[in-house]
Structure 1
């Protein structure tokens, strides 16, 4: 469907695709929601241990999310490539564009519902589920590129297992190293270390999630003929796409996210400063390793399981397992839930448009 503003022959104005406008708005909406609901995980522990004040921490996260998305994409764009090649939207006419829009709409609905209930679901997995569900309306299982999807499964294991084990082991190591250090002196070091760790986690959230949504942005632009894939099947991401995605994610983070911060940093485990430092350090190591390897992992899973590991290092009962249970349930439901919403929304959208 096309709309024309003015008389092309008379004043030189060109056609503007409504589908392109809708796609861009939805992509930016999903990026905004990610910054709004997912990014607060990066700073939750620093706020809960009172190392950083909420307003300062949020604005720091805004800047570091922006920087992470921009710098890491310039350095290594493999995560974006994995997302853009994970599924194939193949259909007659404009059905590929419509199905992609349906997946983005489903992701926004899912993420907003999770935010309302204060549950830190993974926007990464919602994105993957939404894209997969809508693509399958056009091509069934053949629409799924399993070689790329395998990286998603690897990332799921990495973010969950390594996050928990990392939090547990780093906490034990810190306790051994600093057992003879005066508590007041040690707390000063941990305070500075946790402030740095919170900034690093926000940077790596931008590096991971920013790239994922850039991959989707490039898909939307390609279906509207704005960009083309290279001979190897990948995109060259323009600098303006990096800037736009980074700024919108930062703007989403600035809106807040205290419900998520409370669930992750305050309700799940009561953390001391050294424990918050341990959680931030272990999550940052896992996220950096995955980003350098080009494996898309969930920043939410990584950070929350690291906090669980830190709590378990003290004693199993120090973790509020009811909160953990609710989180895990949300994670488990994300793939079938968001995927199903995207599937049926794509069916509906394709039938209507």
Structure 2
């Protein structure tokens, strides 16, 4: 598919056709990000029966759309990860990076592993950049990607643990059944907050890639921000993907890591959304919504006892985290090599 698109662009004799192709590929990634990460926002509320699956998906899609319109700071960070060459060669690099991310997303989705679409995209961009001898801005990768990748799950785990301890202490004299019903209602709000944070973080990553493609062809000036049409199409693609659902990963997050009840689900979602907002608005870091909610779920489960967390499942999730950036990078490098071999 990629080869035929690039060959068509060369036959037309303009960069515009290739630019359109790269934008479309980026939006396909945005769509796969939506159905891959839909579980992040709603798995806990569905597993505790606070929301039905269909209602949860509709709510998540709408909140993703709204969240995508709230800022562009993360998009700026993503657009600065690599500096590809200008023209058709630069578009090849950007397109190959996105294809690497899409491939890894589909593999982890098939096996039900909640890996990070964010890190897949960053890994793909870096892999294509290295394969093409483009400039990789390692300071940006380390400060805005690598460090937050390690810190955000730890913060999510610890904060969720403390929030859950506080809930257990505050409601220690409450009737369990009554408390569960109240938190089931509260969880509708926390799930909406989580979905808003997902839109805020994840749609911006695709915006950054499209801006990078526009910069390589001179269709956008550095420092001009994200064009409104880019914001709108990325928000729409993410929301459509979210509505398509992510049932395989939802089962992993909602049932296999720990047994969730409404108070635990509320604590996990509240904590995770707080981490997403703070990193987007304060540090402009493209952190993983997957890492954040999964670590928060583990944190609330650990308040019961450490054995309540199914560490075997958790170990598989962590392995997917570790391999996401290098594997997406490898696939992007292969995609770049194939296209470059055919003369793009």
TM-score range, shorter chain: over 0.9
Superposition deviation, residue 182 in structure 1: 2.6
Q: Which residue of the other structure, out of 73, 77, 82, is the alignment partner of 2:77? A: 82
Match of 1:314 in 2: 304
Deviations 1:82-117 (A, max 9, x none): 1111111126x5211111111111111110111111
Task: Tell me what 2:6 maps to.
Answer: none
Q: Which has the larger displacement, 56-65 or 238-247?
A: 238-247
CA distance in 1, matches of 2:207, 2:240: 16
Q: 1:98-113 alignment to 2 at 5 Å?
A: 98-113=92-107
Residue 157 of structure 2: aligned partner: 164
Runs of 5+ unmatched residues, structure 2: 1-8
Contact 1:90 1:139 in 2 (8 A): no
1:347 aligned partner: 337
What are the Cα deviations for residues 254-300 of structure 1, in whole angstroms up to 9, with x where unaligned?
11111111000111111111111111111111111111111221100
Query: Which residue in 2 is equivalent to 1:66?
Result: 65
Q: CA deviation at 1:16?
A: 7.1
Inter-partner Cα distance in structure 1 for 2:38 and 2:220: 29
Query: For 2:192, what is the secondary structure of its paired residue?
Result: helix
Conserved 8 A contact 1:82-1:148: no
TM-score by length of 2: 0.93
1:192 CA displacement: 1.9
Q: Distance in 2 between matches of 1:55 and 1:306?
A: 24
TM-score by length of 1: 0.90
Contact 1:3–1:17 (Cα < 8 Å) also in 2: no
How many pairs does the alignment contain?
A: 334
Distance in structure 1 (CA, Å) of the matches to 2:17 and 2:11: 7
Distance 2:102 2:144 in 1: 24
Deviation at 1:154, TM superposition (A): 2.5
Q: Is the 8 A contact 2:152 2:275 kept in 1?
A: yes
Evaluate the alpha carbon distance shift between residue 147 and residue 252 of structure 1 in structure 2; reply closer, same or farther with a 3 A threshold.
Answer: closer
CA-CA distance at 1:148 after TM superposition:
5.0
2:136 aligned with 1:143: yes
Whole-angstrom distance in 2 between the partners of 1:169 and 1:289? 18
Q: Give the SS at the match of 1:270.
A: coil
- 1:43 is matched with 42
Residue of structure 2 equivalent to 1:207:
200
- SS of 1:17's partner is helix
Residue 24 in 1 paired to residue 23 in 2? yes
State the distance in 2 between where 1:225 and 1:3 align: 21
CA distance in 2, matches of 1:60, 1:19: 35
Query: Are residues 203 and 27 of structure 1, via their aligned partners in 2, closer, same or farther at CA, if it must alter by over 3 Å?
Result: same
When Rg is computed on C-alpha atoms for both structures, the one with the higher figure is 1
Match of 2:174 in 1: 181
Q: For the Cα contact (< 8 Å) 2:80–2:140, is it kept in 1? A: no
CA RMSD, Structure 1 to Structure 2 (Å) = 1.7
- Provide the C-alpha distance between the structure 2 equivalents of 1:200 and 1:112, rounded to a whole number of angstroms: 26
In 1: Cα distance, 2:330 partner to 2:19 partner: 24
